[in-house]
Amino acid sequence: MFGIALALVAAAVAAPPAAAQAFPAKPITLVMPYAPGGPGDTITRVFAGAMQRHLGQQVVVDNTAGASGSIGTAKVARAAPDGYTLLMIHVSHATNPAMFKGLPYHPVDDFEPIGSATSGPMLIVARNDFPARDLSEFVAYVRANGPKVSLAHAGVGSASHLCGLMMMSTLKVRLNEIPYKGTGPALNDLMGGQVDLLCDQTSGTVPSVKGGKIKAYAAAGKVRLPQLPGLPAIAEAGVQEFDINISFGLYAPKGTPRPVLEQLTAALQKAVADPEVRNRLEGMGVSAVSAEQATPAALRAHLQREIDVLGGLLVKAGVKAN
């Protein structure tokens, strides 16, 4: 009798909690809060494929776009905290609270960080017939024509908007801002000549630049991109304060069981170490983060820094969505 009791105790101690044992027992929905075809969507689909392999379960990307990513983010905040609805998002998770009054979620209190996934630079690109032959002519033309030049972005507080704000403040010019539900649709208009400029992440622009569908004037920072070595960095035009890098991270709703979160972090860490993931991202000018950064603590710290720095910067710049 005593032996059976001991065996039962031993089995209970050894077996993982029921939540972790069964997880994942059905497909996982990975919400990307920007439109299909943009840099966020491209990065999300790379990770959806890798995590599907490492979790042994389907990971389905759900593009719920609009309001600078806050509609898709709200969807995840109110989803069941069971690990089957996740969010892939970047800087707009930090900026949206400063942009939108009455946001139906809090970026820290309503989410569990799983880990950071990528980091990557941005490019200043234009429609192919934009009237400037190189970076110095571009700077001169934009400074001379300001409000007559249209600048696409993915909504206030988005990465493309922040990059556009940095361009306007460093070049001391106002441009005519055209918001989209993501820079995928913006890129289509840029290729069609309906909009003049876009400052976007490399995962959304390097293929189109290489394909000759749009033209690039500069990397939006201090260093050139290995993928486009002939393209100058904006710093080479003497614009030193213009430097931006965008990092994506993975979140679950608050209350998701710890064992499930640990399984998701483990799958993310395998994904960022996956050679196929690293090579695909590298081709777009994006870096998968290290295993140390693909952790809840690292993502929590990164998010807090962005909230403290960028939220304040946008409020100071008088940027508001509503």
φ and ψ of 147, to 5 deg: -60, -15
Contact flag: residue 184 with ligand MLT (CB under 6 A): yes
Contact flag: residue 249 with ligand MLT (CB under 6 A): no
Residue 314 CA to residue 318 CA, distance in Å, equals 6
Contact range with ligand MLT by CB under 6 A, out of 49-57, 113-121, 123-131, 158-166 = 158-166
Contact flag: residue 164 with ligand MLT (CB under 6 A): no
Contact range with ligand MLT by CB under 6 A, out of 156-164, 216-224, 232-240, 297-305 = 156-164
Residue 105 or 248: the one with the smaller Cβ distance to ligand MLT is 248
Cβ neighbours of residue 171 closer than 8 Å, sequence gap 6 or more: 139, 142, 143, 239
Structural tokens at position 18: 């029921």
Contact flag: residue 34 with ligand MLT (CB under 6 A): yes
Pairing of strands 111-126, 287-288: antiparallel
Residue 118 or 170: the one with the smaller Cβ distance to ligand MLT is 118
Query: How many helices (H) does the chain have, and how many strands (E)?
Result: 13, 10
Residue 131 CA to residue 95 CA, distance in Å, equals 33
Contact flag: residue 154 with ligand MLT (CB under 6 A): yes
Identify the DSSP state of 150. E
Q: Which of residues 77-116 bind ligand MLT (CB under 6 A)?
A: 92
Least distance to ligand MLT, CB of residue 154, Å: 4
How many C-beta atoms lie closer than 10 Å to residue 247's C-beta?
20
Structural tokens at position 115: 């880990």
How far is CA 143 from its chain centroid?
29
Site mask for ligand MLT (CB under 6 A), range 3-32, x = bound? ------------------------------
DSSP-derived 3-state class of residue 121: strand
- Assign residue 79 a region: left if phi > 0, alpha if psi is -120 to 50, beta otherwise? beta
Residue 244 CA to residue 121 CA, distance in Å, equals 6
Among 182, 253, 257, 285, binds ligand MLT (CB under 6 A): 182
How many residues lie near ligand MLT (CB under 6 A)?
13
Residue 181 or 215: the one with the smaller Cβ distance to ligand MLT is 181
Residue 147 CA to residue 193 CA, distance in Å, equals 17
Among 73, 118, 160, 263, binds ligand MLT (CB under 6 A): 160
Contact range with ligand MLT by CB under 6 A, out of 38-46, 104-112, 133-141, 249-257 = 38-46
Contact flag: residue 253 with ligand MLT (CB under 6 A): no
Among 40, 113, 121, 311, binds ligand MLT (CB under 6 A): 40
Q: Which residues bind ligand MLT (CB under 6 A)?
A: 34-35, 38-40, 92, 154, 158-160, 182-184
